[in-house]
Amino acid sequence: MAGTILDRICDEKRRQVAENKSRRPIQELLKRAQDQAPPRGFAAALTHKVETTGIGLIAEIKKASPSAGLIRADFKPSQLARAYAHGGAACLSVLTDQRFFQGSDADLGEARSACDLPVIRKDFMVDPYQVVEARALGADCILLIVGALDDVELANMESIALGYGMDVLIEVHDEAELERALKLKSPLIGINNRDLKIMKTDLATTERLAPLVPGDRHIVCESGIDSPVDIKRMVAAGAKRFLIGETLMKRPDVEMATRVLLVGGGATLDAKG
Ligand SMILES: O=P(O)(O)OC[C@@H](O)[C@@H](O)c1c[nH]c2ccccc12
């Protein structure tokens, strides 16, 4: 049987990383990573918004995806970053994968320098080289997808990221993956409502897994959130942190859409409104 979409993406990623390694030796990246200002504090910014407004939003900058195709034609990462910041997001997520999401490393730099929000490099990490690359690009957090990595790879990449002072979002989709995620150090546990193996979303995933997440970890409810009603449903399931892309990226006025979603979902306004 042919592999899943996730397998295909990761195979392609391994090819790209091999290419990048020969083009840009790790020594060069290590130096660039070292020259960066310290990370902005991704998990801390989320917690701050949760404490001040009730909801911490990671707003995603995503031009296209394998499941949706082209999401937004008018795509300017710096403008979108400012809109999300003014709309009340705690953090940004920037897709840097080119082949499947039409993103780029440059998008991350543009978004991050346009505002003061912490940024997660949203990509498929299959090699420690990419963690150093993320820091060299200025990323404040990385994503590790449990379903794509073994325990040794996860622990290794997590420790490199934590060593740089970055945060790590550990993404799971089922009970077995959650159990493996809980062996790691990072408190940020992303429950992906989208099954990356078949690209279908179901909010019941968060309802099923949230009760199994210990109180010292923070649930990030990811994917498929369409409306304030969905937010309220996920809050009732125990989520206070959200990762939302498509719904916001499809709206012409992204700032307004962000605010409407947050306030409609039950967030109170903080000082910035
Ligand atoms: O656009 P949505 O349905 O709101 O989802 C955002 C985010 O959760 C999704 O883009 C995502 C979650 N995990 C990923 C891993 C790789 C690529 C993308 C993702």
Domain with residue 171: its CATH number is 3.20.20.70
Which region, left, alpha or beta, applies to residue 165 given φ > 0 means left and ψ of -120 to 50 means alpha?
left
Query: Which residue's entry shows tokens 């709206």?
Result: 251
Is residue 253 a part of any domain in this protein?
Answer: yes
pLDDT of residue 269: 78
Range of the domain at 84: 5-264
Is residue 272 a part of any domain in this protein?
Answer: no
In the chain, how many domains are there? 1
Task: Verify whether residue 171 is a known catalytic residue.
Answer: yes
Q: Which of 147, 85, 79, 153 is nearest to 119 (CA)?
A: 85
Is residue 73 a part of any domain in this protein?
Answer: yes
Task: Verify whether residue 240 is a known catalytic residue.
Answer: no
Burial of 187 (0-12, 13-18, 19+ CB in 10 A): middle
- Alpha helix locations (H) across 168-245? 175-181, 204-209, 228-236
User: ipTM strictly over 0.90?
Assistant: yes
DSSP annotation of 241:
E
Best substitution site from 5, 60, 92, 226 to test ligand 1's pocket, by max atoms within 8 Å of Cβ? 60
pLDDT of residue 271: 56
Is residue 269 a part of any domain in this protein?
Answer: no
Is residue 270 a part of any domain in this protein?
Answer: no
In 3-state terms, what secondary structure has residue 155?
A: helix
- Enumerate residues lining ligand 1, CB below 6 A: 60, 62, 122, 171, 192, 222-225, 243-247
Per-residue tens of pLDDT for the chain, all 273 residues: 458 899 999 999 999 999 999 999 999 999 999 999 999 999 999 999 999 999 999 999 999 999 999 999 999 999 999 999 999 999 999 999 999 999 999 999 999 999 999 999 999 999 999 999 999 999 999 999 999 999 999 999 999 999 999 999 999 999 999 999 999 999 999 999 999 888 899 999 999 999 999 999 999 999 999 999 999 999 999 999 999 999 999 999 999 999 999 999 999 976 554
pTM: 0.97
**Residue closest by Cα to atom 11 of ligand 1:** 223
Selected catalytic residue, list 122, 177, 193, 246: 122
Is residue 38 a part of any domain in this protein?
Answer: yes
Task: Verify whether residue 222 is a known catalytic residue.
Answer: yes
Q: Name the token pair of 64.
A: 């296209």
Q: How far is the CA of 1 from the centre of ligand 1 (A)?
A: 25
pLDDT of residue 1: 46
Is residue 142 a part of any domain in this protein?
Answer: yes
Is residue 273 a part of any domain in this protein?
Answer: no
Selected catalytic residue, list 13, 62, 63, 240: 62
